[in-house]
Amino acid sequence: MSTSAPFAPIYLAGQTGSGKTAVALELAGRLELPVEVINADAYQIYRGLEIISAAPTEEERSSAPHHLFGILDPTEECDAARFAELAKAKIAEVGQRALPLVVGGGGLYLKAITHGLAPTPKGDAVLREELEQRTLKDLVSEYQSLDPKGATATNLQNRRYVTRNLEICLLTGRPASELKSEWQDNEPDITAFYLERSREDIYDRINLRTLQMFESGVIDEISNLGELSATSAKAIGIREIQSLIAGEIDVISCTEEIQMITRRYAKRQESWFRRETAFRRIPITPEQTTEQITDALTAHLPALPTE
């Protein structure tokens, strides 16, 4: 290669159903240097959720090396901090030999990678010993009073998570969820893009993809799942399909519910990325092909090293 410096990553974001996978593969094949795709989706990291999370298929993944797809068991917890740790390590590793193309739609997880989560205080041995003597019910009660927002997003049956979050609250005098939403770098120097589609377009694509999900066997996929972590269980569609399997709703109601929930999620994604100035927005129309979208994106790429 013409340079010994590591390759800097390119970040590709977009709402669910925006076409990130197709654009990523087109870009990887077009650039005149080695490219490896790194997952930045909260649910595509889990094995057994490939259809429900719209993970790249085996055929798609065969066109370029892919990383952090299906590496965790659905019983494992994975918050933004852990995801960022895994992703940063993989970006550093891949960057020594190829251009890391980081692809995902979750604003929090992507921002944890690009901006870096603010450090939380180290554990205090005296306080931790005190907390270990208390009942889980007591810990949960105090944690809920100090950080109600964080408590709603925490597995309150997991004593380790509750204890650590409560410890952060007590050591800092601030809600743990508030501290965890702060960043090390508010203006990172990164190459990052956001695929921007109109609301009508993205909603149409979501509705169609949900139907395709059922055609691809998502009911069987969910039927084969065992115990789920609090994190993996949040994947859109799991709860609704479990209700379908249990006979509580019919397939039409299930489909419509998933479409509605996914549209709401896409709306939240758009709101999140409207605030993210580090991501250059690439406007897309329904008529544009993947090649044309990639043309628009590559026009904004910085000079890249070559082999």
What integer is the mean pLDDT of 244-249? 97
pLDDT at 120 over 90: no
Q: Map the chain to HEC letters.
A: CCCCCCCCCEEEEECCCCCHHHHHHHHHHHCCCCEEEEECCCCCCECCCCCCCCCCCHHHHCCCCEECCCCECCCCCCCHHHHHHHHHHHHHHHCCCCEEEEEECCHHHHHHHHHHECCCCCCCHHHHHHHHCCCHHHHHHHHHHHCHHHHHCCCCCCHHHHHHHHHHHHHHCCCHHHHCCCECCCCCCCEEEEEECCHHHHHHHHHHHHHHHHHCCHHHHHHCCCCCCCCHHHCCCHHHHHHHHCCCCCHHHHHHHHHHHHHHHHHHHHHHHHCCCCCEEEECCCCCCHHHHHHHHHCCCCCCCCC
The CATH class for the domain spanning 10-117+183-298 reads alpha beta
CA gyration radius for the chain? 21
Q: Between the ranges 57-71, 101-115, 179-193, where is the mean pLDDT highest?
A: 57-71
The pLDDT value recorded for residue 185 is 66
Whether 237 shows a pLDDT value over 50: the answer reads yes
pLDDT on residue 282: 97
* pLDDT tier for residue 110 given thresholds of 50, 70 and 90: very high
Name the β-bridge partners of 99.
Answer: 35
- Residue located via tokens 């694509």: 205
Token code pair at residue 73: 């068991």
Task: Write phi, then psi, for 50 (nearest 5 degrees).
Answer: -60, -45
Q: Kindly state the average pLDDT of the residues 105-110.
A: 88
Domain boundaries, the chain: 10-117+183-298, 125-179
**pLDDT for 1 beyond 50:** no
pLDDT in tens, 43-65: 999 999 999 999 999 999 999 99
Could you count the other beta carbons within 10 Å of the beta carbon of residue 299? 8
Which pLDDT score is estimated for 103? 97
Predicted pLDDT at 307:
60
pLDDT grade for 306, boundaries at 50, 70 and 90:
low
pTM of the model as a whole: 0.82
d(CA 100, CA 87): 10
- Lowest mean pLDDT across 24-33, 146-155, 256-265: 146-155
What pLDDT is recorded for position 118?
74
More confident residue, 231 or 260: 260
High-pLDDT (> 70) share of the chain, %: 96
Asked whether the predicted pLDDT for residue 39 surpasses 70, the reply is yes
pLDDT at 2: 42
Q: Is the pLDDT reported for residue 86 higher than 50?
A: yes
Question: Is a pLDDT exceeding 70 seen at residue 234?
Answer: yes
Of 43 and 79, the one with more pLDDT: 43
97 pLDDT above the threshold of 80? yes
As a whole number, mean pLDDT of residues 92-112 equals 93
Of the given ranges (186-190, 207-211, 240-244), which has the lowest mean pLDDT?
A: 186-190
Rounded to an integer, the average pLDDT of 233-261 is 97
